């Protein structure tokens, strides 16, 4: 058992180094909106912690003239600057770069909107921190961008991944696992769409705290299952997945709100972001199931045995439940104190 705990110590240490919020790599966001022919309002939003912000700055080429100096401040976890610019050809073929992006692990979204309804959306990354304005960009660009953002959000959203991992451990058999994951997918798709369309709105702080609570609850049910109990959650894990999935959908909606959605392609952006979330989720589940299938092929090892004759795949379940539940409990305490204080 000591060998097993040593094996799990590395991943546990990595998880505890992550911020309690579970979402570290929020994108920066550049919005440029035409106010009058050739005149544009610029809004530049950078992730921040307290009064510290990422050292990222927007740089236009020499064809762009500034009409006002940037003015900004800190609010809601971001530093936001706003100013006015002018371009004689309405930004056509203008080069825009994000200085400092190469030294970070975050992305930046740039959205340009003209008065006639045209819109361009570009995703910038550390290896590609600049672009040229193309006023003819279409919906294909929006689709690719939001699908990639959905995949990244689920794979970097540690709290959502741990909830999915707990559901995989709680379900018994492929049929029950399929029903459980389907219920979770349906639930968070419903609330994600409702929140983006403005039909439901909840403050993010209590939502994030309840998401942590959902992980603690499912981890506890895994341990009850190991002891031979048969609660409602153990018999029908899809109910738990659906109920808490509604709240996880609000968490996804909060991330999408930070990114923003182009008004001319709300349905497309929402659908592709959600598909990206599902694709990333399926990749994670496949990896977990593959790992457990591999462990089941290993012969029972005496020092890993919880009871005589049990394989490593069975024995590993309860330490993982404790690790996942412990980390989620820490998130729950941290997020609750943040709301109170």
Where is mean pLDDT largest: 81-90, 282-291, 296-305?
81-90
Is 151 inside any structural domain? no
On whether both 11 and 40 belong to a single domain, the answer is: no
Q: What is the pLDDT of residue 314?
A: 56
Does residue 335 lie within any of the structural domains? Answer: yes
Please give, one letter per residue, the 3-state secondary structure of 92-159: CCCEEEEECHHHCCCCEEEEEECCCCCEEEEEEECCECEEECCCCCCHHHHHHHHHHHHHHHHHHCHH
282 has a pLDDT exceeding 50: yes
Domain boundary residue among 137, 170, 189? 137
CATH number, domain at 106?
Answer: 2.60.40
- Shared domain for 93 and 241, answered yes or no, is no
Q: Are residues 41 and 168 in the same domain?
A: no
Question: Do 167 and 107 belong to one domain?
Answer: no
In three-state secondary structure terms, 263 is helix
Residue 142 inside a domain? The answer is no
Residue 150 placed within a domain: no
Per residue in 190-228, pLDDT (tens digit) is 999 998 888 888 888 899 999 999 999 999 999 999 888
Whole-number average pLDDT of the chain: 84
Residues 17, 33, single domain; the answer is: no
pLDDT for residue 136: 64
If one counts the domains in the chain, the total is 2
pLDDT in tens, 13-36: 444 444 434 433 578 999 999 999
In a domain, 87, yes or no: yes
pLDDT digits (tens, 9 = 90+) for 55-104: 999 999 999 999 999 999 998 788 999 999 999 999 989 999 999 999 98
Instruction: Say whether pLDDT at 305 is over 80.
Output: no
* Residue 155 pLDDT: 86
The verdict on 162 and 303 lying in the same domain is yes
Residue 297 has pLDDT above 80, yes or no: no
More confident residue, 146 or 303: 146
Domain shared by 219 and 321, yes or no: yes
Flag whether 36 is in a domain: yes
Residue 281 sits in the same domain as residue 180? yes
Share of the chain above pLDDT 70, in %: 85
* Domain assignment of residue 325, given as a range: 2-22+157-340
Do 172 and 301 share a domain, yes or no?
Answer: yes
pLDDT reading at 4 higher than 50: no
């Amino acid at each position: 058992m000591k060998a097993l705990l040593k094996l799990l110590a590395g991943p546990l240490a990595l998880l505890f180094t992550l911020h309690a919020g579970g979402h570290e790599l929020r994108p920066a966001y550049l919005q440029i909106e035409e106010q009058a022919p050739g005149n544009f309002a610029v809004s530049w939003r950078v992730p921040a912690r307290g009064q510290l912000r990422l050292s990222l700055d927007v740089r236009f080429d020499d064809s762009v003239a500034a009409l006002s100096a940037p003015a900004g401040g800190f609010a809601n976890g971001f530093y936001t600057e706003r100013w006015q610019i002018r371009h004689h050809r309405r930004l056509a073929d203008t080069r825009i770069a994000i200085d400092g992006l190469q030294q970070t692990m975050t992305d930046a979204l740039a959205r340009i909107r003209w008065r006639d309804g045209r819109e361009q959306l570009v995703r910038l990354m550390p290896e590609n921190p600049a672009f040229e304005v193309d006023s003819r960009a279409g919906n294909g660009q929006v689709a690719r961008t939001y699908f990639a953002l959905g995949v990244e959000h689920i794979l970097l959203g540690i709290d959502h991944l741990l909830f999915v991992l707990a559901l995989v451990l709680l379900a018994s058999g492929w049929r029950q696992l399929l029903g459980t994951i389907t219920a979770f997918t349906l639930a968070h798709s419903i609330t994600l769409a409702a929140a983006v369309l403005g039909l439901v709105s909840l403050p993010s702080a209590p939502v994030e705290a309840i998401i942590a609570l959902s992980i603690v609850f499912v981890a506890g049910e895994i341990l009850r299952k190991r002891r031979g109990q048969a609660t409602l959650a153990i018999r029908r894990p899809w109910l738990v997945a659906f109920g808490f999935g509604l709240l996880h959908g609000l968490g996804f909606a909060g991330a999408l709100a930070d990114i923003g959605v182009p008004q001319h392609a709300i349905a497309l952006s929402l659908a592709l972001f959600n598909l990206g979330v599902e694709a990333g989720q399926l990749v994670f589940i496949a990896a977990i199931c593959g790992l457990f299938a591999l462990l089941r092929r290993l012969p029972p090892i005496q020092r890993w045995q919880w009871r005589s004759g049990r394989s490593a795949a069975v024995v590993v379940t309860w330490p993982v439940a404790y690790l996942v539940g412990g980390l989620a409990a820490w998130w729950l305490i941290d997020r609750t104190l943040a709301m109170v204080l």
